Structure 1
Amino acid sequence: MKTILFLYSVYALVPALSVYGYDITALYCYQCVSTHPGCATPFNWLWHWSQPCPEANDKCVKIIERKGASEVITRDCLSSLRGIRTDIPADHYEGCRPAPRDVKLANYVNNSIHELDIRRDYYDSIEWCFCYFDNRCNESNSLHTVLIPLLLISAVLTVLL
C-alpha cells in the first residue's frame, strides 16, 4: 500500500514541476560562446542558465576551435547547430572527436577576400564534444541534484502519512 502511495506522490510531483517551468522530457544544455563572460575554460555556471533543447532526441555540444594560442568555445544543442555548421562529425556518440573537412565547401567560388573564410579553414583544429546522458552535460551539474531531494521528501511524506 505504501508503494502505491509513493508512486502516486511521484506522479503528482511531475506535473507540479512542469507548472514551474521544468520540462521533464527535454534535455537541458548551456548555450553560450566563450566571448561571453563566464563561458570560457573556467566555466561559471552561475552566469549562464541552461535552455531546453528543441528536439526530443537531442545532444549537448561543446565545440573547441583553436588558432595558435587563442581558443573559442561554443556550447549549444546539436539541433541548433545543424543549420549553421557543415563540419559536424558523423559519429554523435558521447565523447570528443575532430571535425571533418568539408570537401564540397566553396569549390566553385573565386574569392579574393580572405576574411570571409568561405572555406572554413581559419582554425588550426576544431573539436566537437557530444554528451546526452545528463542535463547540462556540456559543463556543469544536472537537474538530478534538484529532483532527488524532492523525491526523497515525497517518499518520507508517504511513509509518515
Structure 2
Amino acid sequence: MAGVGSCLLIICILSIAINHCSAIWCYRCTSATPGCAEKFNWRGIGYWGEQCPEDNDICVKVIERRGAQQTIIRDCLSALRGPRTDIPPDHYEGCRPAGKDVRLGHYVNNTIKELDVHRDYYNDVTFCFCFLDHRCNGADSLQYRSLLVPLTTIAIVLSLYKFTRL
C-alpha cells in the first residue's frame, strides 16, 4: 500500500509541475483553413498547434452562425481578448453564448454596412472554452473532454492498487 501512496504523490507533483511550467498548446486556425471546419482534421491543417503566449491561457473555439453560413475560429483566449468584446465573462470549461457589448460602435456613423462595426452580422455566436488538455479546441464535443483527465487518473490508481496487491 505504501507503493501506491508514493506513486500517487509522484503523479500529483509531476502534474502540478507540468501544469505550472509551460503554457497550453492550442489549435490556431479558422474555418477558411482546410481541416479546421466543423469536421476537424489536424492533418489537413498541417501542424500540431501553437503554444499560447500566456501561462494561464485557455483554448477557445468560437462558432459564429447566420442562417446556413457558419464560421469557426480556434485560438487562444489571450489572442482574442483584444479584437473581441463579446467574450463571455465566464471562462470555465464548456460552451456558452457570446456576451453583448451595447457600447460597441456607439459613436460611429458609418454607412458602409460591410464593415460590421456593431458586430451584429451573426445571429448566433457561441464560445467554447477548454483548458484541461493540450489542443482541446479541436474536439467536436468539448463538454466530455473534461472527464478525460480524472477518469485516466482513477484508472491508473486502480491498476497500481491491483498490481501492488498481487
TM-score by length of 1: 0.71
Asked if 1:91 corresponds to 2:90, the answer is: yes
Q: How does 1:77-156 map to 2 (within 5 A)?
A: 77-139=76-138
Q: Which amino acid aligns with 2:85?
A: T
* Distance in structure 2 (CA, Å) of the matches to 1:25 and 1:36: 27
Q: Which amino acid aligns with 1:61?
A: V
Asked if 1:39 corresponds to 2:25, the answer is: no
- Identity percentage of aligned residues: 58
Runs of 4+ with >4 A deviation: none
Deviation at 1:47, TM superposition (A): 3.0
After superposition, give the CA deviation of every residue in 1:59-93 in whole Å (9 maximum; x if it has no partner): 00000000100100000000011111111100000
* Distance in structure 2 (CA, Å) of the matches to 1:52 and 1:109: 36
Structure 1: gaps of 5 or more residues: 15-23, 145-161
After superposition, give the CA deviation of every residue in 1:112-136 in whole Å (9 maximum; x if it has no partner): 1111100000001000000001111
Greater per-residue helix proportion: 2
* Distance in structure 1 (CA, Å) of the matches to 2:40 and 2:136: 12
RMSD value over aligned CA atoms? 2.4
* Distance in structure 2 (CA, Å) of the matches to 1:26 and 1:107: 37
Deviation at 1:27, TM superposition (A): 0.4
Structure 2: gaps of 5 or more residues: 1-5, 140-144, 150-166
After superposition, give the CA deviation of every residue in 1:19-65 in whole Å (9 maximum; x if it has no partner): xxxxx622010000001111001111123321011100000000000
TM-score by length of 2: 0.69
Q: Which amino acid aligns with 2:32?
A: T
Between Structure 1 and Structure 2, how many residues are aligned? 126
* Distance in structure 1 (CA, Å) of the matches to 2:108 and 2:39: 40
Partner of 2:27: 30
